[in-house]
Amino acid sequence: MTLDRTATRTVGLGLLALGVLALVSPAVERLLPTEAAVEGLGNDYLLVAAIGALSLAGTAGVLALRTATGVTEARPPAVEAVERGTPGRELDAALAGLPTVRTTARERAVHGRLRAAAVATVAETARCDRAEARRRVDRGEWTDDETAAAFLASDDLEPPSLARRALSELRGEHWFRRRVDATVAALERRREVRA
Sequence-separated (6 or more) residues with CB below 8 Å from residue 8: 58, 62
Residue 28 CA to residue 32 CA, distance in Å, equals 7
Sign of CA dihedral 116, 121, 126, 127: positive
Residue 33 CA to residue 43 CA, distance in Å, equals 14
Taking the whole predicted model, whether its pTM rises above 0.85 is answered as: no
Alpha carbon distance, N-terminus to C-terminus of the chain = 89
Residue 151 CA to residue 132 CA, distance in Å, equals 18
Contact 118, 103 (CB under 8 A): no
- Alpha carbon dihedral 62, 65, 70, 73, in 10-degree steps, equals -30
What angle (nearest 5°) sits at the alpha carbon of residue 25, between those of residues 20 and 31? 90
Q: For residue range 62-120, list pLDDT tens digits in order.
A: 788 778 877 666 777 777 776 666 665 665 565 455 555 567 888 888 899 999 999 99
Residue 128 CA to residue 25 CA, distance in Å, equals 110
Q: Which of 10-14, 36-40, 83-87, 157-161 has the lowest mean pLDDT?
A: 83-87
Which residue would you say has higher pLDDT here, 102 or 11?
A: 11
Q: For residue range 116-143, list pLDDT tens digits in order.
A: 999 999 999 989 999 999 999 999 999 9
